[in-house]
Amino acid sequence: MEILHRFIGPNDCFNHLAYVFVQPHHLIAGIVFFIGIISLLIIYMLFYLVYRERKSRLRHQLRQQYSEFISYLAVCESTRELQEIMDQPEWKNKLAAWLSHSFSRNVLVRELVTTVKNMSGTAAENVSWFYRHTGLDKDSYSRLKKGKWHVKARAIRELAYLKQKQYLTSIYRYTNNRNEKVRNEARVAIVQLTGFEGLRFLDIITYPLTEWEQLCLLHELSLHPIQSFASTSRWLQSPNLSVVDFSLKLIETYKLYELYDEVVNCLSHPDKSIRKKAVEVLKEIGKSDTASLLLQQLKEEEPEVQLTILHVLEQMATENEVAGISPFLYNSRNELKAAAARVIGKVSTGGWTTVEKLINPAASPWDELLPFLKQEIEL
Amino acid sequence: MKILVAEDEPIMLKTIELRLKKDGHEVIATDNGRTAMEQIDLHHPDLIITDIMMPYVSGLELVGKVKAPGQPNVPIIVLSAMGQEKVVLEAFNLGADDYITKPFSPNELSMRVRRLAQNTKNQTLADKV
């Protein structure tokens, strides 16, 4: 009490009230309560750690057992050989035990996926056969139907890696799912299973394709034989901007010269990023008149697109375009000035002398900019 | 033929081992670069198959040590993941004889081993002549 008196002055109204209502036994009860809570938390954490440790040990043991079994499957040369291995009493009993628990089934599926990521040909086909033959595909499918978003995404990945084309229609439904991860997995899975044909989901999707998703799709497509690009011109008309962007990337990657006119039409697209991408694509599939076309576009564009056009003109322009580009040497933006100087310095017959004739090399910012640009070109 | 396989992924290691044993080769399997180095000194394999990404000693270091001047000429096949072009080129610079990109077919690896073994045999014969 004396100690409390020392800290709680009787003149202090708030402290006085606290002294009246908070008795020492209240404090002791509070301390005991919080110690109890902390102890419970520590006990829970310890139990959880032990549980996690056990699971991880079990997973490790299972992985070791599976690796031997899967390896035997992978080197089989016929379905009969596969069946013979599965019928061996040693494996038959183990398989029955593995397939009876959901945890061991999950680990097994993960191992099968790892295997097909590393192996192709007959080995991968054998693993897919086993996955379907043992009904593990149904496990993945039920997770796809009932699970949370991350469970669904994993199920889609499993079905795709293990080449389960019979679930194509179900996976297709998820290509426009409201969850980004689920729809990303579904889109990539469709292409993984059917190649270029799978891109038909571009007709229906309303959610955007992220940059990462586009990269994944392009990577998957690179693993398939090239098929028809007939739908690409339709996708260029899509109200979904990311679909237009991806179509332009397809044209750029696969050099679809036959779609030149459609790409030129994209230069009048209301979205700036699409116009920018179209300019970049024209660099890849350009014709003899592309430079003059871009020069025309240059005058009407926003600064960001103008910069892209000037970069592209560095590769495509000729002496004929120099007169059209030279007004940009007097632009208020230094980056446009520099880009225009680069083009003229590179493509005009006079080189840097032409640039120096058009500007005042001693005046700012050219006194600093010009030596730097010259050095850049020399390098 | 005595073949040393160094690969840290257990399924891959076991599959390659089984495939090569099916072809009648003697296989020494190791799951890391350090053990691989010890096994090379101990068993003097006729051919080495190594993954690039391995714990302790990487596949590239292994290639560098095996192909160092003064060492006997042991052919090496490098296993690489897709998109590791630079690493593969580095492996070739260090003296690797062939490479195969994951995912690969064990049958394809078996054919490459056969071809490489034949080339080495022809080379040895030519050297003797």
B14: chain A residues, CB-CB within 8 Å: 67-68, 70-71
The b/e string for A115-137 (b: 16+ C-beta within 10 A; e otherwise) is bbebbbebbbbbbbbbbeebebb
Contact flag A119-B19 (C-beta cutoff 8 Å): no
Question: Which residue of A67, A120, A122 is in closest CB contact with B11?
Answer: A67
Closest CA to B123 of B78, B72, B89: B72
Contact flag B106-A75 (C-beta cutoff 8 Å): yes
Torsion angle defined by CA atoms of residues B46, B60, A112 and A124, in that order, rounded to the nearest 10 degrees: -60
Please enumerate in sequence order all residues whose Cβ is within 8 A of that of B64, keeping only pairs 6 or more positions apart, or say none. Answer: B94, B95
- Contacting A with CB below 8 Å, chain B residues are 9-15, 17-19, 22, 102-108
- pLDDT, residue A146, reads 85
The average pLDDT across A297-307 equals 91
Q: What is the DSSP string of A46-85?
A: HHHHHHHHHHHHHHHHHHHHHHHHHHHHHT--SHHHHHHH
Q: Which two tokens stand for residue A210?
A: 């992220």
- pLDDT, residue A137, reads 95
Closest CA to A73 of A26, A14, A27, A134: A134
- pLDDT, residue B85, reads 82
- pLDDT, residue B55, reads 84
- CA-nearest residue to A122 within chain B is B105
The average pLDDT across A220-240 equals 90
Please enumerate in sequence order all residues whose Cβ is within 8 A of that of A357, keeping only pairs 6 or more positions apart, or say none. Answer: A350
Contact flag B15-A74 (C-beta cutoff 8 Å): yes
Closest CA to A259 of A284, A241, A276, A238: A284
Q: Phi and psi at residue A158, in whole multiples of 5°? A: -60, -50
Q: Which two tokens stand for residue A300?
A: 């009407």
In tens, the pLDDT along A144-198 reads 998 799 999 999 999 999 999 999 999 999 999 999 999 999 999 999 999 999 9
Global pTM?
A: 0.79
What A369-372 contacts at long range (C-beta under 8 Å, 24+ apart), as own/partner pairs, is A369/A334, A369/A337, A369/A338, A369/A341, A370/A341
Model confidence band, residue A346 (pLDDT cutoffs 50, 70, 90): confident
How close, in Å, is residue B78 to chain A by CA atoms? 14
Is 80 exceeded by the pLDDT of residue A4? no
In tens, the pLDDT along A28-39 reads 999 999 999 999
A124: chain B residues, CB-CB within 8 Å: 103, 105
Mean per-residue pLDDT over chain A, rounded:
90
- CA-nearest residue to A69 within chain B is B11
Residue A208 DSSP class: P
In single-letter form, the type of residue at position A217 comes to L
Rg value, chain B, Cα = 14
How close, in Å, is residue A54 to chain B by CA atoms? 21
The average pLDDT across B62-76 equals 89
Is 90 exceeded by the pLDDT of residue A348? no
A116 touches chain B (CB under 8 A): yes
Is 70 exceeded by the pLDDT of residue A7? no
Contact flag B11-A64 (C-beta cutoff 8 Å): no
Model confidence band, residue A312 (pLDDT cutoffs 50, 70, 90): very high
ipTM of the complex: 0.86
- CA-nearest residue to B19 within chain A is A75
A74 touches chain B (CB under 8 A): yes
Q: Which two tokens stand for residue A175?
A: 């290509």
Is 80 exceeded by the pLDDT of residue B82? no
d(CA B89, CA B93): 6
The average pLDDT across B50-76 equals 89
In tens, the pLDDT along A109-156 reads 999 999 999 999 999 999 999 999 999 999 999 999 987 999 999 999
d(CA A182, CA A213): 11
Torsion angle defined by CA atoms of residues B93, B95, B97 and B101, in that order, rounded to the nearest 10 degrees: -50
Question: What is the count of residue pairs from A and B with beta carbons less than 8 Å apart?
Answer: 65
The average pLDDT across B48-55 equals 91
